[in-house]
Structure 1
Amino acid sequence: MLKIAIIGVGAISAAHVKSYLEFSKRCQIVAICDVFPEKAEKLKTQFNLTVDIYDNHKDILDRKDIDLVSVCTPPYTHAEISIDFLTAGSHVLVEKPMASSLAESDAMNEAAKKNNRILSVVAQNRFTTPMMKLKKVLDTKLIGPIVHTQVDSYWWRGHSYYDLWWRGTWEKEGGGCTLNHAVHHIDIFQWMNGMPSEITAVTSNTLHDNAEVEDISIAIAKYDNGSLAQITSSVVHHGEEQQLIFQGKNARVSAPWKLKASQSQENGFPIEDKDLEDKLQHYYDQLEDLKYQGHIGQINNVLTAIEGNGEVLIDGIQGRQTLELITAIYESSSLGKKVKLPLTEDSPFYIREGVIKNATYFYEKTKSIDNFGSNKIT
């Protein structure tokens, strides 16, 4: 029976608790920690847990029974907490984004390697049936070389969203919608299509004058083969539609699922390629739905890896690549230049202090509250 500790009991922690409880024959939550211990007590009561409550994660480090730790704290704390537990001998599942800088990500990966521990970064949207099916369709190469990708990560958040004490600042949140919302789709984009060779981006803050960070960004990624991708990250879009569209030489596929294949007529105008559409649709339809999805799917994956029956789908290297793309977007937009990948220690955005110094500050954060009356998230 694997023993679990949860660090941080903000809105996302409930998803972790529910997921672990789904596998109650394989694991048991034994510790919860938050700087506001009354919040930890509330979570304990809500789920009728038998756990020890802590207000400092360092007080748990000497325990020898903690196999896996879920880190659900604000991003600027992820590196320290993760490294502490990896060094103490625990495996770590850390919420997105994995850290506030590439330097912190590298330190986390080094700690995992040195201590032979699993470090997994939450990217629960990979563990959904539509995304997993799309990935497998792309892996067939039937659509041909990818020539254009469209990533629309559209969300909507009200003005008060950034009143929470750690949100809306470069120091504590580490960025805006690109880092904390579009991270899901940027992760899936690089998982499905690989890393581009350069980024050109612009950011803005259009509706949230209580935040230093952006509420919309638009980036263009270019690959060495000439393929382009456009990535839009937003918390100003009513309706919150999200999609990934891959245009191949032979066909177009997307999540949500949509398929179109074309051939050329003699005059160059398109005609439907029904045979290829039927082949792609048949392959898509015969793929099985995932048994476990979202956080439950990822936690099942991590538990299975700890039990020695497989590898994690999202390790610290994958988490670092996603953060690298986001960091490149911030560097390009803030400095007004094209940014080449991969990013190295020479990047002014490699360390957290460099991000804080060089990032664009749109507004001053003028309001800070400890907690909202409702923790409900969508």
Structure 2
Amino acid sequence: MIKVAIIGAGAISSAHIESYLQFKERCTIVALCDLYPEKAEAKREQFGLDAVIVKDYKELLDREIDLVSVCMPPFVHAPVTIDFLNAGSHVIVEKPMASSLEECDAMIEVAERSGKVLSVVAQNRFRNPIMKLKHVLDSGLAGKILHAQIDSFWWRGHCYYDLWWRGTWEKEGGGPTLNHAVHHIDALLWMLGQPSELQAFMSNVAHDNAEVEDLSIAMLKYPNGSLGQITSSVVHHGEEQQFIFQGQNARISAPWRVTASESLPNGFPKRDQSLEEKIQHYYDNLEDLPYEGHAAQIDNVLHAIETGEPVLIDGVSGRNTLELIMSIYKSATTGEKVTLPLPKDDPFYTREGVMNNAPRFYEKGAAIENFADLTITTGSNYKGNS
């Protein structure tokens, strides 16, 4: 039986707890930790857990915890993860992996040295529309991908950034590019790989109580000449998120849609119904995942611990995602085109470098200690016609 500890009892912790409880024959939650113990107590009562509650996570380092879910603000992901890896625990750390590439490298190094599993939460890979889209891309039926469009559209009210650690480069590490589009960027890298260069812009158009951006747009260029674009936002009503891949043979997307064209003698398009039906048949015959979202990723991590097989989303994946995000911030800050990868002497490699170079759109205003524990959105708006 795998013994689990949840570090941080904020809103996202419920997704972890609910997921672990789906695998009661494989794991048990033995500890909850939060700086505000009453929040942990509320979770224990809500889910009927037989778990010890601590205020300081270091109290758990010598308790032989097998697996830890780190559900804390990004600026403490690295030290908490490293401490538990060194103590012999496997770790699932919430997105983003850390607040700097330097911290990511330190986390990966400790995971490799300890031989423990390090997995970074990117639960959207484990959703049927995204997993099936990946399989269709890999099939090659759509042909070479010529253009990718990623819309990471979210909406957050002005008071969202009143929480004490949000909206600052020091504590949150960035705005929606880092903390919301991270899921979409992870999936894009999984599907197409890392671009070779990018140009980006960012602004704060609706949240004058935050230092960070609330809207960014990045234009990507891949080594083969293909182009892409990523919009990261917390100002889009409806939160309509999508992936669109324009292949040489067909357009495919999540929410699912397939459209194919063939050329008339004059170069204008004619619908290629035969190819559309072929791709649709391939898509329809893909099996659904047994679990989705956080539950599916936790199942993947439990399986890795039980069998020694690799996880789908490891520390290197988490680092690659952060590298693209930091490249967007660098380009949007300097106004220059950025070439990847970022070297270790780049100012945007370290947390201090980001803090010293990133723009402050506004001075951080109100600082509320806690919000009520309400339902949150975690990005599952890909169902469409799937």
Pick the TM interval, shorter chain: over 0.9
Q: Is the 8 Å Cα contact of residues 10 and 375 (structure 1) preserved in structure 2?
A: no
Task: Give secondary structure in 1 for the equivalent of 2:200.
Answer: strand
Aligned residue number for residue 74 of structure 2? 75
CA-to-aligned-CA distance 1:146-188 (integer Å, 9 cap, x gap): 1100000100000000001110000000000110111111111
- CA-CA distance at 1:224 after TM superposition: 1.4
CA distance, structure 2, for counterparts of residue 92 and residue 199 of structure 1: 32
TM-score of the superposed pair, with normalisation by structure 2:
0.97
Aligned residue number for residue 24 of structure 1? 24
TM-score of the superposed pair, with normalisation by structure 1:
0.99
Aligned residue number for residue 330 of structure 1? 329
Aligned residue number for residue 119 of structure 1? 118
CA distance, structure 2, for counterparts of residue 7 and residue 175 of structure 1: 22
Q: Is the 8 Å Cα contact of residues 37 and 54 (structure 1) preserved in structure 2?
A: yes
CA distance, structure 2, for counterparts of residue 194 and residue 117 of structure 1: 26
Alignment partner of 1:252 is 2:287: no
CA distance, structure 2, for counterparts of residue 178 and residue 22 of structure 1: 31
Question: Unpaired segments of 5 or more residues in structure 1?
Answer: none
Aligned residue number for residue 49 of structure 2? 49
- CA-CA distance at 1:309 after TM superposition: 6.0
- CA-CA distance at 1:374 after TM superposition: 3.8
Name the aligned partner's letter for residue 231 of structure 1.
I
| Paired positions, count | 377
Aligned residue number for residue 142 of structure 1? 141
Give matches, 1:1-378, under 5 Å. Answer: 1-64=1-64, 66-308=65-307, 310-378=309-377
Name the aligned partner's letter for residue 81 of structure 1.
V
Q: Is the 8 Å Cα contact of residues 10 and 373 (structure 2) preserved in structure 1?
A: no
Task: Give secondary structure in 1 for the equivalent of 2:262.
Answer: strand
CA distance, structure 1, for counterparts of residue 180 and residue 326 of structure 2: 14
Aligned residue number for residue 383 of structure 2? none
Task: Give secondary structure in 2 for the equivalent of 1:17.
Answer: helix
Task: Give secondary structure in 1 for the equivalent of 2:348.
Answer: coil
CA-to-aligned-CA distance 1:110-146 (integer Å, 9 cap, x gap): 0000000110000001100000000000001111111
- CA-CA distance at 1:274 after TM superposition: 1.6
Task: Give secondary structure in 1 for the equivalent of 2:14.
Answer: helix
CA distance, structure 2, for counterparts of residue 71 and residue 15 of structure 1: 12
Q: Is the 8 Å Cα contact of residues 199 and 332 (structure 1) preserved in structure 2?
A: yes
Task: Give secondary structure in 1 for the equivalent of 2:349.
Answer: coil
Task: Give secondary structure in 2 for the equivalent of 1:38.
Answer: helix
CA distance, structure 2, for counterparts of residue 275 and residue 122 of structure 1: 39
Name the aligned partner's letter for residue 14 of structure 2.
A
Task: Give secondary structure in 2 for the equivalent of 1:214.
Answer: coil
Q: Is the 8 Å Cα contact of residues 19 and 299 (structure 1) preserved in structure 2?
A: yes
CA distance, structure 2, for counterparts of residue 255 and residue 377 of structure 1: 22
Question: Unpaired segments of 5 or more residues in structure 2?
Answer: 378-386
CA distance, structure 1, for counterparts of residue 87 and residue 125 of structure 2: 29
CA-to-aligned-CA distance 1:66-117 (integer Å, 9 cap, x gap): 1100000000000000000001110000000000000000000000000001
Task: Give secondary structure in 1 for the equivalent of 2:347.
Answer: coil
CA distance, structure 2, for counterparts of residue 374 and residue 316 of structure 1: 29
CA distance, structure 2, for counterparts of residue 314 and residue 361 of structure 1: 32
Q: Is the 8 Å Cα contact of residues 11 and 373 (structure 2) preserved in structure 1?
A: no
Name the aligned partner's letter for residue 245 of structure 2.
F
CA distance, structure 1, for counterparts of residue 174 and residue 270 of structure 2: 45
Name the aligned partner's letter for residue 53 of structure 2.
I
- CA-CA distance at 1:335 after TM superposition: 1.1
